[in-house]
C-alpha cells in the first residue's frame, strides 16, 4: 500500500471501531444521485493518474481520483474513447465517481454500459483490507466479477483505488439526422432501425423530433445517410445535441418538476404519465418530468416490465431507486455484509437499511 492508501485504511478501521460512517467522494458532481448523504467525507481526488495504458490492447488502468476529462483527453490523443460515453455533470468529475455512479451516455444502447467495460478493480473494503479483482486484459474471465459489481454501487461496498477499463477506437466518421414524428412512431422507427445493419450509435426523441446518430466507417455512414434521408445536422449542431443529452444541459432537463428515468423494454408502449418526456437508447430509456406521485410512476414502470428511478427531485422519501423484490434485497444485504460488515460506507445511499 502507498502512504495514502494506508492512511485511508486506518481511517476506515477507526470508523468501523467507532461505529461511524464514511462518505466516499470525488468532485461531488453526482451528489444529487441516490438517497441520503451520510458520514465524514473521504476525498479521493489526490489519488490520481494513469497507471498503465497500452493503446494496442484497448485497455487503460487508472486511479479512481483521476479527473474524467483528463482521462478522456489522454485517450483521444491516441484516437480512442470510453465507449459508454459517461456524463460528467461537472468539470471535475472523477473516474471513480463515474464507475461508482454507473451512468452511461447516448452511446450506451449500441456500445454497452459502464459495467460492460469494467475489467478489474482494486479497492479497500470495510475492514480496511486492500483487495484486487479481475485483470487488465479483455480475455479476463476468471472468478466472480467484482469489478462489475462495484459499478453503480455508489461507494457503498468499498473505496475504489484503481480500475481497469476497456476502451474503443474513435469512429472515423459520424453524421446526425433528424426526422419529425410523434413519440409512438419514433419508438417504432428506433426499433426498426435497430434491427437493421445500420451504424446507429445513438438515438433520441423529444418535442416531436427523432434524432439519430450514425458512427463508423466513412462508406457505411454515407450509405446510411443516403438510405435514411432526413435532415442532416451540422457537426456543431450535432455535438451540441448529444452533449446536451449526455450532460443534461438540453432544455428538456431544465424544468422544475421531478425528473424520473424509466428503464423499459425498447418496444414498450407509451408511459402514459403526465408531463413531458424524452426518449433515448432506442426506446429503452424514457425520461419523464412529472408531478405524479412515486407510487403511480413505479406502478406504470412495473406494468411496462421495467423500473423507475427518481433521478432528480427534492423529495426522495419514497426512495430514489425502484424497490427491490425480497430475494434481490437479501442478495444486496449479503453483499453489503461481505464487503462492509460494519456499515461504514454510505449507509442508506442506495436503499434504506443498506
The 10s digit of each residue's pLDDT in 15-26 is: 999 999 999 999
Domain with CATH 3.30.465.10 in the chain: 3-169+331-339
pLDDT tens per residue across span 195-226: 999 999 999 999 999 999 999 999 999 999 99
Cα 233–chain centre separation: 27
The residue written with cell numbers 431544465 in the block is 254
CA distances from 210 to 33, 202, 281, 297 (A): 28, 11, 12, 24
**Can you point out the beta strands (E) in 148-305?**
159-166, 168-169, 173-180, 200-206, 209-216, 231-232, 259-263, 276-280, 285-289
Residue intervals of the chain classified under CATH 3.30.70 are 173-246, 255-312
Q: What is the pLDDT of residue 145?
A: 81
DSSP-derived letter for residue 54 is: E
C-alpha to C-alpha distance for 249 and 103, rounded to whole angstroms: 16
> Which listed CATH number (3.30.2310, 3.30.2010, 3.30.70, 2.60.40) goes with 255-312?
3.30.70
**CATH fold label, 173-246:** Alpha-Beta Plaits (3.30.70)
* pLDDT, tens digit (0-9, with 9 covering 90-100), for 167-179: 999 999 999 999 9
Tell me the whole-structure pTM to 2 decimals.
Answer: 0.94
CA distance 170 to 264: 29
Query: What is the distance between the alpha carbons of residues 213 and 3, in angstroms, rounded to a whole number?
Result: 46
Domain 3-169+331-339 in this protein, CATH class? alpha beta
Position 158 scores a pLDDT of: 97
Do residues 86 and 30 lie in contact, with contact meaning Cβ atoms separated by under 8 Å?
no
Low-confidence ranges of the chain (pLDDT < 50): 138, 140-141
Amino acid at each position: 500500500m502507498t502512504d495514502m492508501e494506508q492512511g485511508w485504511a486506518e481511517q476506515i478501521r477507526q470508523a468501523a471501531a467507532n461505529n461511524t460512517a464514511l462518505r466516499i467522494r470525488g468532485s461531488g458532481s453526482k451528489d444529487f444521485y441516490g438517497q441520503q448523504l451520510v458520514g465524514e467525507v473521504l476525498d479521493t481526488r489526490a489519488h490520481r493518474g494513469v497507471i498503465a495504458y497500452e493503446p494496442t490492447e484497448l485497455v487503460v488502468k487508472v486511479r479512481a481520483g483521476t479527473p474524467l476529462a483528463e482521462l478522456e483527453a489522454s485517450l483521444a490523443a491516441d484516437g480512442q474513447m470510453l465507449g459508454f460515453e459517461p456524463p460528467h455533470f461537472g468539470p471535475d468529475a472523477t473516474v471513480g465517481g463515474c464507475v461508482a455512479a454507473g451512468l452511461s451516455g447516448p452511446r450506451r444502447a449500441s456500445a454497452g454500459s459502464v459495467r460492460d467495460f469494467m475489467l478489474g478493480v482494486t479497492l479497500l473494503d470495510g475492514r480496511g483490507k486492500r483487495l484486487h479483482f479481475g485483470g487488465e486484459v479483455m480475455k479476463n474471465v476468471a472468478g466472480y466479477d467484482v469489478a462489475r459489481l462495484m459499478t453503480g454501487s455508489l461507494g457503498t461496498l468499498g473505496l475504489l483505488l484503481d480500475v481497469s477499463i476497456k476502451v474503443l477506437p474513435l469512429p472515423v466518421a459520424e453524421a446526425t439526422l433528424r426526422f419529425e414524428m410523434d413519440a409512438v412512431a419514433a419508438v417504432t422507427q428506433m426499433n426498426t432501425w435497430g434491427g437493421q445493419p445500420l451504424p446507429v450509435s445513438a438515438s433520441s426523441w423529444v418535442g416531436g423530433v427523432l434524432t439519430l446518430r450514425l458512427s463508423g466507417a466513412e462508406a457505411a455512414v454515407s450509405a446510411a445517410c443516403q438510405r435514411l434521408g432526413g435532415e442532416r445536422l451540422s457537426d456543431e449542431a450535432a455535438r451540441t445535441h448529444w452533449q446536451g443529452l449526455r450532460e443534461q444541459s438540453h432544455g428538456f432537463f431544465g424544468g422544475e418538476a421531478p425528473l424520473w428515468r424509466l428503464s423499459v423494454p425498447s418496444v414498450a408502449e407509451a408511459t402514459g404519465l403526465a408531463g413531458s418526456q424524452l426518449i433515448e437508447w432506442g426506446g429503452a430509456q424514457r425520461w419523464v418530468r412529472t408531478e405524479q406521485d412515486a407510487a403511480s410512476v413505479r406502478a406504470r414502470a412495473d406494468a411496462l416490465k421495467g423500473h423507475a428511478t427518481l433521478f432528480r427531485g427534492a423529495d426522495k422519501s419514497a426512495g430514489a431507486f425502484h424497490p427491490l423484490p425480497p430475494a434481490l434485497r437479501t442478495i444486496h444485504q449479503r453483499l453489503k455484509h461481505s464487503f462492509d460488515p460494519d456499515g461504514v460506507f454510505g449507509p442508506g445511499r442506495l436503499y434504506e437499511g443498506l
